[in-house]
């Protein structure tokens, strides 16, 4: 019997051809055409990342007794992030598969801390600004914790007073972002952490986007608001490596102020017939690829490489932001604190999502978001090479979209993530 979707085996050559054919309509992110989802610091970095990944792709980091190489590499990666985040000597962390897993575990850790304290586990909630990442909603949904979203202030940063008002006996965690994704600004971390401390709560800083960039912007001499463990009261921080660390997908780090707090994210059981099962995160079996890729790229770039790619991404982000700010049909929602920015239409004749469609036809991929309806740019090191042509295409696409909107009287929409 043969199964219709599989059929007889094919040769490696045929498989390779088919794989390449399937990616024909994918966004050309290696050429800087994606302002979201994929990051590139150039072909040499990519080659290092992919070589390391494929060497360890089928190794399993579930049990590093069998693969001490992975333990060594993950340990060095985590130590680097502990350094970036100015963790005290008590600090400890684990690699995760990325931002979503880190945020899930930050919520889980806050709940487990409550359990350790022998306090009630019903009616729990977390308090977070409306700007904090959607993965925190996923965490609340998975762990049956209520999400208390608090409207951001006029400058898109967390509103401290409103967060304070939302705290009650069921609150286990306050969240700040550095920067938040939608408008790219940093929340008042010092104040939020002080509020958490005053209420004996965990305070998680989501630096999935900013952890690398803010570290090196400070090294480059920019004035960066404090966002890391130098702030009293911050209990955990997430930093993604598969974003501005320029490593392969599947690599993030969640660091905690102490080992005791880190223990709140782990899981151990003997309640089955297979012996002791322990894991640091949500996955069981996990590929060694992302770990090796992260280790290799971080050592390949080093501090000087990260300074260079951070300076490049920042300069490009500021140049694009300034062009948008000066364009009469666009509204820059906030001056970027790092390398993320978003803009809305400032012109009744311009549908912002139709503009995204128009840019897509020209090969550019931007995230669509809201409220308010806006487009988002995650500017990274590759964009330096395409900035001029992007700005020209943006201006042309705006004029064209205005005239199309007039003719057809239609609107478009879109989403940040997809289900199928």
Ligand X SMILES: Cc1ncc(COP(=O)(O)O)c(C=O)c1O
State the residues that interact with ligand X by CB under 6 A: 98-100, 103, 133, 135, 177, 181, 206, 208-209, 240
Q: Rounded to an integer, what distance in angstroms lies between the CA atom of residue 379 and that of residue 368?
A: 15
Question: Which of 196, 209 has the CB closer to ligand X?
Answer: 209
Instruction: Name the minimum Å distance from CB 119 to ligand X.
Output: 28
Instruction: Name the minimum Å distance from CB 216 to ligand X.
Output: 17
Instruction: Name the minimum Å distance from CB 281 to ligand X.
Output: 12
Instruction: Name the minimum Å distance from CB 64 to ligand X.
Output: 23
CB atoms within 10 A of CB 182: 25
Question: Which of 211, 401 has the CB closer to ligand X?
Answer: 211
Q: What sign has the CA pseudo-torsion 279, 281, 285, 291?
A: negative
Q: What are phi and psi of 288, to 5 degrees?
A: -75, -10
Question: Which of 159, 339 has the CB closer to ligand X?
Answer: 339
| 88 touches 229 (CB < 8 A) | yes
Instruction: Name the minimum Å distance from CB 327 to ligand X.
Output: 25
Instruction: Name the minimum Å distance from CB 127 to ligand X.
Output: 17
Question: Which of 133, 383 has the CB closer to ligand X?
Answer: 133
Instruction: Name the minimum Å distance from CB 14 to ligand X.
Output: 33
Beta pairing class for 340-345 and 330-332:
antiparallel
Instruction: Name the minimum Å distance from CB 406 to ligand X.
Output: 35
Instruction: Name the minimum Å distance from CB 274 to ligand X.
Output: 29
Question: Which of 170, 370 has the CB closer to ligand X?
Answer: 370
Q: Rounded to an integer, what distance in angstroms lies between the CA atom of residue 339 and that of residue 213?
A: 8
Question: Which of 211, 233 has the CB closer to ligand X?
Answer: 211
Among candidate residues 115, 199, 203, the one with its CA nearest the CA of residue 158: 203
Question: Which of 56, 181 has the CB closer to ligand X?
Answer: 181
Question: Which of 96, 279 has the CB closer to ligand X?
Answer: 96
**308 CB contacts (<8 Å, ≥6 apart)?**
none
Question: Which of 98, 129 has the CB closer to ligand X?
Answer: 98
Instruction: Name the minimum Å distance from CB 169 to ligand X.
Output: 28
Question: Which of 41, 237 has the CB closer to ligand X?
Answer: 237
Q: Rounded to an integer, what distance in angstroms lies between the CA atom of residue 55 and that of residue 290?
A: 10
- Measured from each CB, the residue nearest to ligand X is 99
């Amino acid at each position: 019997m043969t199964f219709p979707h599989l059929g007889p085996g094919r040769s490696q050559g045929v498989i390779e051809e088919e794989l390449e054919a399937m990616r024909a309509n994918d966004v050309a992110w290696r050429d800087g055409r994606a302002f979201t989802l994929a990051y590139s610091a150039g072909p040499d970095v990519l080659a290092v990342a992919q070589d390391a990944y494929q060497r360890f792709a089928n190794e399993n980091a579930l049990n590093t007794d069998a693969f001490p190489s992975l333990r060594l590499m993950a340990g060095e990666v985590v130590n680097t992030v502990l350094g970036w985040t100015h963790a005290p000597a008590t600090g400890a962390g684990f690699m995760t598969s990325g931002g979503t897993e880190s945020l899930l575990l930050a919520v889980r850790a806050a709940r487990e801390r409550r359990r350790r304290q022998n306090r009630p586990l019903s009616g729990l909630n977390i308090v977070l600004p409306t700007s904090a990442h959607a993965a925190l909603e996923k965490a609340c949904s998975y762990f049956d914790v209520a999400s208390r979203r608090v409207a951001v202030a006029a400058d898109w940063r967390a509103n401290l007073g409103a967060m304070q008002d939302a705290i009650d006996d069921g609150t286990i965690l306050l969240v700040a972002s550095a920067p938040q994704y939608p408008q790219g600004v940093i929340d008042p971390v010092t104040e939020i952490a002080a509020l958490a401390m005053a209420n004996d709560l965990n305070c998680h800083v989501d630096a999935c986007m900013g952890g690398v960039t803010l570290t090196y912007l400070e090294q480059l001499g920019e004035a960066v608001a404090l966002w890391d463990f130098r702030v009293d009261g911050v209990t955990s921080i997430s930093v993604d490596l598969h974003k501005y660390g320029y490593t392969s997908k599947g690599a993030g780090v969640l660091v905690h102020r102490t080992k005791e707090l880190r223990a709140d994210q782990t899981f151990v059981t003997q309640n089955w017939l297979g012996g002791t099962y322990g894991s640091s995160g949500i996955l069981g079996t996990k590929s060694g690829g992302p770990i090796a890729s992260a280790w290799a790229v971080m050592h390949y770039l080093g501090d000087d490489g990260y300074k260079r790619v951070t300076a490049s991404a920042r300069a490009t982000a500021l140049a694009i932001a300034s062009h948008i700010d000066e364009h009469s049909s666009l509204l820059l929602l906030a001056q970027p604190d790092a390398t993320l920015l978003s803009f809305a239409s400032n012109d009744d004749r311009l549908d912002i999502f139709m503009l995204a469609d128009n840019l897509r036809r020209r090969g550019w991929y931007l995230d669509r978001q809201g409220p308010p309806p806006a487009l988002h740019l995650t500017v990274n090191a590759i964009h330096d090479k395409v900035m001029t042509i992007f700005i020209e295409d943006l201006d042309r696409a705006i004029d064209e979209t205005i005239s199309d909107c007039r003719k057809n009287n239609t609107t478009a929409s879109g989403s940040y993530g997809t289900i199928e």
